[in-house]
Structure formats: C-alpha cells, structure tokens
C-alpha cells in the first residue's frame, strides 16, 4: 500500500468565485465579505492535512455486474462492472484532508460566524476533491508510462454505485495511517474524505477518460460538477 501526503492545494479566488453554485461571489459582494474570504482561506491552509492511501488488487473476473478480486472480495452495483471491464487490476484508494478543518467549521458555527463556516466547509470539499483528481492523474500517468491504461474512477455514493460496498473497500486498505475510519452507518470519518476505485490494464477498458461525475444521478443539475471542472476549463494543470 502507498501513502502520500504531498498534495498541492491552492484556492484560486477567481475560479471559485466565478463557478456556478459557489457562495464566494455572494459573500464577496457583502460588507466585510473579503475579510470572510481571506479568513476562510487562511483557516483552510492552516487546518488541511491532505493524504491518500491506495493499492492495486488483481481482478479475478468480472461477471454478473460484479467485480471479483483474486482474494475473493466482490464489488457490485451501479456501473462499476461496465466501467472497469477489461481491467487486470483494480486500484482502491481513500483520500482525505483530515478532521481539523471540520472542527474549525463547527467552531465558526458555534460562534455564529455562519458565512465563514459555510465557505470553509466548501473549501474543505474542494480540497478533498483536488486530492482525488491529483491522485487519479498520477495513477493515469504511471499507467501510461508502463504501457497500461486506466478507467474512469468511481466513488461509492457519488454515482449510481451505492455506499454498500464501502466496507469492502476499507477491508482492502489499512487507512489508519491517514486517520480515516468507517462508521457503522458507512460514513467516513473525517467527513472530508473520499474513497474511489479505477481499473488498470493493458487493453481497452470499459470507460476511459471523463470522471465519476459522468455516472452521478445528479449530473444534469449539479452545480458542483461545473465548479470542479472550472480549473481545467481555465487551463489549470
């Protein structure tokens, strides 16, 4: 298993403020809005603890809408079998930005600094998604360097793939090293955490390119999807 904490997270005011669904533009238009933004951004920089853990597992077979790994673990539901079809290995990963940022959000809520807490919560979601995107790009680049290909990534609960398989993913990875656990209700703690899978193989895979957003049940009305794509549209690496 690989663990990495060297993820670069930047908060571009123009990108965030100009993205549909972001509260930043509205906050900046209010008296004292810039102070709220600067305070939330500084809070995020001080409290973020980005980390990711991942490993690869050989695929034994894909049948009956199930992905069966060589150790016997089975993943089922949603589009996973279609997306990773043809994969020889399955990457399983968990990304997080730690719990301090959520604790800071709660402090703002208790002190009635609601806008700062709201914005900081959004920045936490942005940050953990940034870790996920950077990890997926890294795995794709490593695969290409070895002559392999990667599938689109999928995350339980964010697509038509339900969260029921979360215990399977957590049984495959020792996430204690990055401080992430799974509650009995299948909630990841810290809450600013994301699990994901993607397939890797030398031949064509079921779905390549795109993102997990392509399989989300809210994809046609989700403003966050456009917000996460904004950096790429503006040419950000």
pLDDT in tens, the chain (237 residues): 999 999 999 998 888 887 777 788 889 899 999 999 999 999 999 999 999 999 999 999 998 889 999 989 999 888 999 999 999 999 999 999 999 999 999 999 999 999 999 999 999 999 999 999 999 999 999 999 999 999 999 999 887 888 999 999 999 999 999 999 999 999 999 999 999 999 999 999 999 876 666 655 555 544 545 545 544 444 443
- Tokens for 99? 């719990």
Give the whole-angstrom CA distance, residue 113 versus residue 130: 26
Identify the CATH assignment for 2-230 out of 3.90.1570.10, 3.40.109.40, 3.30.70.140, 2.40.110.10.
3.40.109.40
DSSP-derived letter for residue 228 is H
- Report in angstroms the alpha-carbon separations of 110 from 16, 104, 116: 25, 10, 12
Domain ranges of the chain: 2-230
- Please name the residues in contact with 149: beta carbons below 8 A apart, sequence gap of 6 or more: 143, 200, 201, 202, 203, 204, 205, 208
pTM score, whole prediction: 0.87
């Amino acid at each position: 298993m690989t663990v990495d904490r060297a993820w670069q997270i930047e908060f571009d005011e123009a990108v965030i403020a100009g993205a549909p669904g972001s509260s930043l533009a509205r906050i900046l238009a209010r008296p004292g809005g810039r102070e709220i933004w600067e305070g939330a951004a500084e809070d995020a920089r001080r409290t973020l603890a980005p980390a990711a853990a991942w490993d690869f597992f050989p695929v034994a077979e894909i049948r009956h809408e199930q992905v069966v790994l060589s150790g016997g673990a089975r993943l089922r539901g949603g589009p996973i079998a279609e997306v990773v079809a043809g994969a020889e290995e399955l990457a399983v990963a968990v990304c997080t930005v730690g719990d301090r940022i959520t604790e800071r959000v709660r402090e703002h809520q208790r002190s009635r600094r609601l806008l700062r807490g709201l914005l900081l919560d959004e920045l936490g979601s942005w940050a953990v998604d940034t870790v996920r995107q950077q990890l997926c790009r890294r795995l794709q680049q490593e695969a290409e360097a070895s002559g392999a290909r990667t599938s689109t990534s999928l995350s339980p609960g964010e697509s038509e793939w339900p969260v029921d398989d979360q215990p399977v993913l957590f049984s495959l990875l020792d996430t204690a090293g990055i401080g992430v656990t799974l509650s009995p209700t299948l909630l990841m703690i810290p809450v600013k955490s994301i699990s994901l899978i993607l397939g890797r193989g030398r031949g064509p895979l079921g779905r390549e390119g795109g993102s997990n957003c392509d399989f989300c049940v809210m994809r046609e009305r989700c403003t966050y999807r456009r917000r996460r794509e904004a950096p790429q549209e503006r040419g950000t690496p």
